[in-house]
A and B are shown apart, each in its own frame.
Chain A
Amino acid sequence: MPVIKKLWAKNKYAIFFLSPWFVGVMVFGAIPMLVSLYLSFTNYDLIQNRTWVGTANYAEMFLDDARYKKAVMVTLKYVFFGVPLVLAFSLSVALLLNRGIRGLSVYRAVYYIPSLLGGSVAIAILWRQVFGRDGLFNQVLAVFGIEGTSWISNPSYALYTLIALKVWQFGSPMVIFLAGLRQIPRDVYESSSIDGAGKIQQFFTITLPLLTPIIFFNMVMQMINAFQAFTQAYVIGGGSGGPLDSILFYTLYLYQKAFQEFQMGYASAMAWMLLAIIAVCTAVLFLTAKKWVYYES
């Protein structure tokens, strides 16, 4: 025990300061997660029943649930269309802003605002209005003589309105790209233009490779967030998953199972499955990163 006494004496203030955070993480984070793991092997119905069913929930998810497959497809589509679009868009705007426009800090703040608001219920309601049959989007189309349908209640288009909402929140990765662009030293550009490199060449041979760590970071963060999207789908689809389940995001389906169909055990299994999916995708990204991410050090 003298070891422990020594550790304590040396670190007691650190432990005091960390303990509130630690208690918070345990009580509101780690322990609920472990309980949820336990529940995923039961048929907990949120009110009473809690009997062990082993892997029955997981089996049902993969073998017997058509809506589950739909939810996974919808979410994957959202992630694989949405994330690259956001990255491309935010990088483009960052490049534009990096030219030294006056009032850069104002533009940066203004473009960042959607990222702050975007996850809110109010914006989702607004979005539903904008893309409805008589919404702003169709009114703009009408100026060009195009007659728009109701985008949010059309099963073929509803998901794209949500992807548009995601791209609208480009401010957050944009700010990070901007910071990354600023870090690239000027002299590299200068010496390359002395050697006769054009703007486009400079972009592909200097900017992009030096930005790859930032691109990688943004990609991972955006992907993890996209897998967990909920509020927008809930509000825009009215909680139902939209027309023909076209915006039945994974988390939305989880929510329905847990709170509307009283199948919390199944929903817990879904939650841990989502964790597994995100972990696998992230691991794949990290593994491939070695090939294309260039760290200066």
Chain B
Amino acid sequence: MRANRWWLLVAVVLVITTFLSACGGKGGETASEAKTDGQSDNNAQNQSGRTENLVEIRFPWWGNVERHERYNALLDMFEKHHPHIRVIREPLSFNDYWDRMATQTAGGNPPDVLMFTRGQLSEYVSRGAVLALDEFIANGVIDMSDYSETARNIGNYQGTIYMVTIGMSAPATFVNVDLLNRKGIPLPKYEMTWDEFTDYLYEIAPQLGETEDGRKIYPLSDPTSSEAPISAFMRQRGYELFTDDGKSLGFGKEDLYEWFSYWQRLREDGIIPPADIWAEEGGLDWEQGPIATNRIAMEFGRASNNLINLQQVVEDNIDLIRIPTDPSRIKYGEIIMGANMGISAHSKHPEAVAQLINFWLNDLEFNKLYNNDHGITGNERLLKEWDLPPTTREVADHLQDVLATIKPQKQRPPGQTAFFNQLSRSHEEISFGVKSIEQAVEDVFREAEKILK
């Protein structure tokens, strides 16, 4: 009897182990299994009887569960309006999306519908992976008559339009209004100069105190030299990040030194969190992020459209103010970011994708459901017709304000991902104190020379 019970226990453990071994194995295989499982499930879901004259286009996107559900509803709406087009949906996480995009493009099997942010446009266009859209726009298949010149040229690379914007945003400083009110601190002005902004930060720092669980509240986040904040800084000095031919940096070592020094000073004076705290907490986002946990009172240089989703998971009221201005040089430096959509150069059904894009850009019902997910639509007619919810209205107003006041911006050249990685690495090295600012500036320029040639 006893022996039998032991054998039973062993058998149970072995069975559980066998099930669990499906989770293990070599890590790489597991991850890729999970990915392809997800994709084949989606394909299975979308099988239906109709096959005559049916055009199928593949559309991967990145996001979270909420976005996947929304996009599925959006594409159902599109398919109803265009019964001869079926969209094969491939929802992915952000990192997986880019891995897959690179691999599939390399394997000659890219999806039909391409979705890019500002960073990847030049990488893929310069490698011949994206179809030019000028013709579609000219003959109205993609109707951009309600878009401003700036909005239309978001996806312009070296004179040709390769992508159209499905949502724009601009960097802003997110202010936790409720937190400031609770501490009895006066709110910052919507527009402040760099000096006024810095003075304000130093003024409020001692008044902020601690969070509920006893952790110090910092006035501002660490922007880690990501593209939007540093672009604004350089553009105010009259420099784009890269020269027109994309072969070198558009700013000088002294400018980068000034940028790094400013943030190092703030770090040393306790205005922004120190390196180790930011290494952990800065990487978290949304309801776990430092704004939500009241660790910081303001977040610098974040894409404005994030406010829509952030406000839904954060109880405190958050407002947008503009990046500090520089009246002594060029006052406003923000760049427009957001998500763009395009057609793969290898797509067999470019007209079908063009119709999807056109629908995305112009249909009011569609856009109401889409709800400016990646950024505010550039369609000015829609914005007038539409009664936007208050947070979205705030983001839209901020965006219009920025659009009206900034100079036109340049596209990123290819190879810049490596450059921005180096920038954030150097920023990190300075903040941890392992490199001096001079050394870090040298590193960045040396790396840029290697990458951009």
Which residues of A are interface residues toward B (Cβ below 8 A)? Answer: 45-49, 64, 103, 105-106, 109-110, 112-113, 115-122, 124, 132-133, 149-150, 152-155, 230-232, 234, 238-239, 243-245, 256, 259-262, 264
A256 contact set on B, CB distance < 8 A: 421
Determine the distance from Cα of A146 to Cα of B75 in the docked complex, in whole angstroms: 54
Query: How far apart are B341's CB and chain A's nearest CB, in angstroms?
Result: 19
Inter-chain pairs besides A155-B432, A261-B418, 13 sampled, C-beta below 8 Å: A109-B14, A116-B23, A117-B20, A117-B24, A119-B24, A120-B24, A122-B23, A231-B28, A243-B428, A260-B418, A262-B102, A262-B123, A262-B415
Contact yes or no, B280 A153, CB < 8 A: yes
B21 at the interface (CB under 8 A from A): yes
Q: Assuming A46-B105, A48-B127, A121-B31, is B434 touching A244 (CB within 8 A)?
A: yes
Point out the residue from B20, B417, B421, B450 that lies within 8 Å of A116, measured CB to CB.
Answer: B20
> Which B residues between 1 and 49 are near A, CB-CB below 8 angstroms?
6, 9-10, 13-14, 17, 20-21, 23-28, 30-31, 34
> In the complex the two chains form, is A132's CB within 8 Å of B24's CB?
no
Q: How far is the CB of B220 from chain A (nearest CB, A)?
A: 20
The residues of B with any CB-CB pair to A shorter than 8 Å are 6, 9-10, 13-14, 17, 20-21, 23-28, 30-31, 34, 95, 98-99, 102-103, 105-106, 123-124, 127-129, 275-276, 279-281, 283, 415, 417-418, 421, 425, 428-429, 432, 434, 450
Q: Within the assembled complex, what's the spacing in Å between the Cα atoms of A46 and B417?
A: 15
Number of inter-chain CB pairs below 8 Å? 116
Q: Which of B10, B25, B106, B432 has the most CB of A within 10 A?
A: B106
Chain B hits for A260, CB < 8 A: 98, 417-418, 421
Task: Provide the bound-state CA to CA distance between A239 and B98, in Å.
Answer: 12
Interface contact B429-A47, CB-CB below 8 Å: no
B contact residues around A116 at 8 Å (CB): 17, 20-21, 23-25
What residues of chain B lie closer than 8 Å to A232, measured between beta carbons?
27
- Knowing A45-B127, A46-B102, A109-B17, the reply to whether A154 touches B24 (Cβ < 8 A) is no
Is B428 touching A150 in the complex (CB atoms < 8 A)? no
Residues of A within 8 A of B21 (CB): 116
- CB of A259 within 8 A of CB of B99, answer yes
Query: Nearest 5 A-B pairs (CB), nearest first?
Result: A231-B27, A153-B280, A153-B279, A47-B127, A116-B24
Q: Could you list 27 A-B pairs, sorted by A, with CB under 8 Å?
A: A45-B127, A46-B106, A47-B105, A48-B128, A103-B6, A103-B9, A105-B10, A109-B17, A113-B17, A116-B21, A116-B25, A119-B25, A119-B26, A119-B27, A120-B23, A120-B25, A150-B280, A155-B279, A155-B432, A230-B28, A231-B26, A243-B432, A259-B98, A259-B99, A259-B102, A262-B102, A262-B417
Q: Which residue of B lies closest to A150 (CB)?
A: B280
Cβ-defined contact, B127 with A121, below 8 A: no
Contact: B31 with A231, CB < 8 Å?
Answer: yes
* Partner among B127, B283, B418 whose Cβ is within 8 Å of the Cβ of A153: B283
Give every chain B residue within 8 A of A109 (Cβ-Cβ): 10, 13-14, 17
Chain B residues positioned under 8 Å from A103 (CB to CB): 6, 9
Determine which residue in B13, B98, B275 has the highest number of CB atoms from chain A within 10 A of its CB, and name it. Answer: B13
Q: Which residue of B lies closest to A257 (CB)?
A: B418
Q: How far is the CB of A125 from chain B (nearest CB, A)?
A: 12
Instruction: For B30, give its contact among A64, A119, A259 (CB under 8 Å).
Output: A119
Q: How far apart sit A48 and B105, CA to CA, in the bound complex (Å)?
A: 9
CB of A120 within 8 A of CB of B129, answer no
A120 lies within 8 A of B421 (CB): no
CA of A182 to CA of B160, assembled, Å = 73
B98 neighbours in A (Cβ, 8 Å): 259-260
